[in-house]
Amino acid sequence: MRGLAGEIAINALPEDEAEAEPEYTPGSVEDFERLYRRSYRKILVTLIGMLGDPAAAEDCTQEAFFRAFRAWSSWRPGAPAEAWLHRIAINTAVSHWRSQRLRQVGEIIKRIGRPAPPVSPATIAENTELGKALHKIPAKQAAALVLRHYHGYTNREIAAALGIPERTVASRLAAAKARLKVELADWVE
Amino acid sequence: MAGEPRTFEKHLEDDLHLLLDAHSAGTIPAWRMPAQNSRRVVPFVGGAGAAVGAKIVTGAAIAVLAAGATTEIVITHSANPIDWARNVQQQVQASPRSQGGPAHSQPTSAVHPSASSVGGGSPAVPPRVSPPSLPTVTPPAVPSVTPLPIPSPSTPAVP
């Protein structure tokens, strides 16, 4: 506990919350805090995989939880809460990714002829081969890859979470892998 | 090659764990509940809405002016606004009312109900009111003034 009113700091999930997804009541502040504690890390890791920048991913995760909290009273108990959160978070990250791309294009145009600035140490995801490769593919494809190959969701679960057809998930995964194979040619050899 | 996809996917999963596991064990920041009514209000005045609104109003005004000018050009066959004014003046002078002819419709007075009661049971038609003709004013003749004689210094002053 931090001691500040209205704030809770948690460093580890309680054992009972590490099991199956509990039932939540829409609009309940206590239930939303449980959902936050339970799913924060999953969401953050997905967004780091998408964006390659932990700081930006943290900002987007917080923004996603704010958006989710505003819509919490309209959440339907039948739908998986984590999947619902993932959809909000991925949409938030995709918006951020697009604005970042636009900004990068503007910066490239501005610094034509000048040397590129040094890589920020915060973007540690870019310092690995996979991190760099993930940063080059579209954010939605990166999200599908992380959900499938890191979290271990099935294509059907990903489709349900993102509200897209299962075939779209499969095609995003196939496109992402094809691009990664080109970027990471050393792996296949 | 049958084993290639499995190898690639295995490699992908291993590297994803290497890349992301460190972040999945971090501290969860405190949940700060957003304040009530903290929705962002996009200001309409002063923003893009105001710019679009100003453009619409300006466009409508220009369209009205252009339509009016086109109508006058068609009627007068002239692009000179002085001709348009002359045409309007001619039409006003040629109208039946300005010539003293019968008017097609007479407005009924709602302000002075007594005006409609003139004539007993006759329909309430107010009498035509012609503006009184302005009297011609002749300026009075300026009287001729004979200058007074200047008193000489020997004349005693009037007390």
ipTM: 0.71
Task: Pull the structure tokens for residue A104.
Answer: 């990068």
Give how far A43 is from chain B: nearest CA, Å: 9
Asked whether the beta carbons of residue A128 and residue B18 sit closer than 8 angstroms, the reply is yes
- List CB contacts (< 8 A) between B8 and chain A: 177, 181, 187-188
Residue A183, pLDDT score: 85
For residues B30 and A8, is the Cβ–Cβ distance under 8 A? yes
Q: What is the dihedral of CA A71, A74, A78, A83, to 10 degrees?
A: -10
**Chain B residue at shortest CA distance from A65:** B31
In tens, the pLDDT along A60-90 reads: 999 999 999 999 988 888 778 888 999 999 9
The count of domains in chain B is 1
Question: Which residues, at least 6 apart from A108, have a Cβ–Cβ distance to it below 8 Å?
Answer: none
End-to-end C-alpha distance for chain B, whole angstroms: 142
Helix, coil or strand: residue A63 = helix
Interface of B with A (CB under 8 A): 4, 7-9, 11-13, 15-20, 23-34, 39
> Coil, strand, or helix at residue A3?
coil
Residue A71 in tokens:
């819509």
The DSSP letter of residue A6 is T
Cβ atoms of residues A66 and A60 within 8 Å? no
Contacts of B29 in chain A (CB under 8 A): 9, 40, 58, 62
Fold of domain A25-188: Butyryl-CoA Dehydrogenase, subunit A; domain 3 (1.20.140)
Q: What angle do CA B132, B133, B138 make, to 5 degrees?
A: 135
pTM of the predicted protein model: 0.53
Alpha-carbon distance B33 to B70, whole Å? 63
Q: Is residue B55 part of a domain?
A: yes
Cα–Cα distance measured from residue B87 to residue A120, given in angstroms and rounded to the nearest whole number: 76
- The dihedral over CA atoms of B3, B6, B11, B14, expressed in degrees to the nearest 10, equals -140
Do B30 and A9 make contact, defined as CB atoms within 8 angstroms? yes
Name the β-bridge partners of B28. Answer: A10
pLDDT, tens only, B9-22 = 888 888 888 888 88
**Phi/psi at A172 (5° precision):** -65, -40
For an interface test with A, give the residue of B33, B37, B38, B40 to mutate (most A CBs within 10 A): B33
Query: How far is Cα A81 from Cα A85, in angstroms, rounded to an integer?
Result: 6
How confident is residue B159, by pLDDT bands cut at 50, 70 and 90?
low
Instruction: Yes or no: say if A173 and B39 are a contact pair by the CB < 8 Å rule.
Output: no
3-state DSSP helix/strand/coil percent for chain A, to nearest 5? 70, 0, 30
Domains of chain A, residue spans: 25-188
pLDDT at A75: 86
Q: Which residues of A85-106 are buried (b: 16+ CB within 10 A; e: fewer)?
A: bbbbbbbbbbebbeebeeeeee
Closest Cα in chain A, distance from residue B58 (Å):
33
Q: Which residue has the higher pLDDT, B116 or A67?
A: A67
CA atoms of A74 and A24, how far apart (whole Å): 12
The minimal CB distance from B16 to the residues A58, A149, A177 is found for A149
Task: Taking residues A126-148, report their average pLDDT.
Answer: 86
What is the per-residue pLDDT across B55-108, written as a single tens digit (0 to 9) for each?
888 898 899 888 888 888 888 888 888 888 888 888 888 887 666 655 555 555
Q: Categorise residue B42: left if φ over 0, alpha if ψ from -120 to 50, beta otherwise.
A: beta
Domain span including residue B75: 51-95
